[in-house]
């Protein structure tokens, strides 16, 4: 998309994980579509830089928050509604996955952090924002899940795969309960996005593989499309992947199991 338009003029969007590669691309695309965007994340300095990249002071602002801390999320949602009048679009793009991610290495601390951010944090922002959407009888929620949330993959590890699968269920229940209030929710499950998060894989994908992957802008374009649809349209789930689909072709260098001993 990329061109500036006005299809989201007058809308307020709240984007979490907004200084990550995907979150920033989404924030920038929503600004291009005419929305006022509130960018949130843990790191205040990185967030300020992201807001400056997303748009001018009258197009975007930074609001530093830890998505895993519910009290601050609920207070921020109320404050945004009071100050801006409404939050029309919520995007949950925050996500973590530890480097030592498999059962034999995964620490309890890393498991808890992944659940706190990827799942509990998404629940907090959805519940906090739904209050105003429900009252106004309108709203769009986009939760970034993962292909590994829909289809298990060894390289993802149990904490990431489990939380991303749970995000699909969380999104489904929003549509079950809130469709009667004019709220619609979409889970986007991308496979193989070329972001710095890939550097945590052991081993990371090669440069050749990364060149064929989805880019953050691809997810941003999809998010903008969803948010610009008429209120009568709900896209429940999107599963997207590179044309050279690594989930089928096995491009990622998954460590193989040893040959089992035969009796």
> Active-site residue 160, yes or no?
yes
Q: Is the pLDDT of residue 255 over 70?
A: no
Q: Is the pLDDT of residue 74 over 70?
A: yes
Using one digit for the tens of pLDDT, what is the confidence trace for 138-197? Answer: 999 999 999 999 998 888 999 999 999 999 999 999 999 999 999 999 999 999 899 887
What is the structure's pLDDT at 262? Answer: 60
Burial class (CB in 10 A: 0-12, 13-18, 19+), 257: exposed
What is the structure's pLDDT at 210? Answer: 86
Contact call for residues 47 and 67 (beta carbons, < 8 A): no
Three-point CA angle 128, 133, 136, nearest 5°: 140
What H or E segment, with its residue span, contains residue 131? helix 121-136
For range 219-235, the mean pLDDT: 98
Count the alpha carbons within 13 Å of 55 in the hemisphere toward its beta carbon.
23
**Whole-angstrom distance, CA of residue 124 vs CA of residue 56:** 28
The Cα-based distances of 91 to 118, 139, 247, 256, 258 in angstroms read: 13, 11, 25, 36, 41
Percent of the chain with pLDDT over 70: 93
Cβ neighbours of residue 249 closer than 8 Å, sequence gap 6 or more: none
Where along the chain do its domains lie? 12-249
**Whole-angstrom distance, CA of residue 56 vs CA of residue 208:** 36
Using one digit for the tens of pLDDT, what is the confidence trace for 183-215? Answer: 999 999 999 899 887 776 677 878 888 888 999
**Whole-angstrom distance, CA of residue 94 vs CA of residue 66:** 10
**Whole-angstrom distance, CA of residue 256 vs CA of residue 254:** 6
Using one digit for the tens of pLDDT, what is the confidence trace for 101-121? Answer: 999 999 999 999 999 999 999
The token duo for 205 is: 């994908």
What is the structure's pLDDT at 75? Answer: 98
12-249: CATH number: 3.40.50.720
**Whole-angstrom distance, CA of residue 25 vs CA of residue 220:** 6
What is the structure's pLDDT at 223? Answer: 98
What is the structure's pLDDT at 192? Answer: 83
Residue 70 Ramachandran class (φ > 0 left, ψ -120 to 50 alpha, else beta) = alpha
**Whole-angstrom distance, CA of residue 115 vs CA of residue 158:** 11
Q: Which of 19, 36, 124, 160 is catalytic?
A: 160
């Amino acid at each position: 998309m990329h061109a500036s338009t006005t299809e989201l003029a007058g809308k307020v969007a709240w984007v979490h994980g907004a200084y990550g590669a995907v979150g920033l691309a989404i924030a920038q695309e929503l600004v291009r579509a005419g929305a006022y965007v509130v960018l949130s994340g843990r790191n205040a300095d990185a967030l300020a830089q992201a807001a400056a990249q997303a748009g001018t002071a009258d197009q975007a602002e930074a609001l530093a928050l830890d998505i895993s801390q519910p009290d601050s999320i609920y207070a921020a949602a109320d404050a945004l509604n009071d100050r801006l009048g409404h939050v029309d679009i919520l995007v949950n793009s925050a996500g973590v996955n530890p480097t030592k991610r498999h059962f034999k290495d995964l620490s309890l601390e890393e498991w808890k952090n992944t659940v706190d951010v990827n799942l509990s944090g998404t629940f907090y922002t959805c519940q906090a924002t739904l209050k105003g959407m429900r009252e106004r009888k309108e709203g769009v929620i986009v939760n970034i899940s993962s292909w590994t949330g829909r289809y298990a993959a060894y390289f993802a590890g149990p904490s990431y795969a489990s939380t991303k699968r749970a995000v699909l269920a969380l999104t489904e229940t929003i549509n079950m309960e809130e469709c009667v209030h004019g709220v619609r929710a979409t889970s986007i499950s991308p496979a193989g996005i070329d972001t710095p998060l890939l550097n945590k894989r052991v081993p990371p994908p090669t440069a050749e593989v990364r060149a064929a992957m989805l880019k953050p802008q691809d997810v941003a374009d999809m998010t903008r499309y969803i948010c610009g649809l008429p209120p009568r349209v709900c896209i429940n789930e999107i599963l997207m992947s590179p044309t050279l689909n690594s989930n089928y072709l096995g491009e990622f260098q998954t460590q193989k199991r040893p040959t089992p001993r035969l009796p």
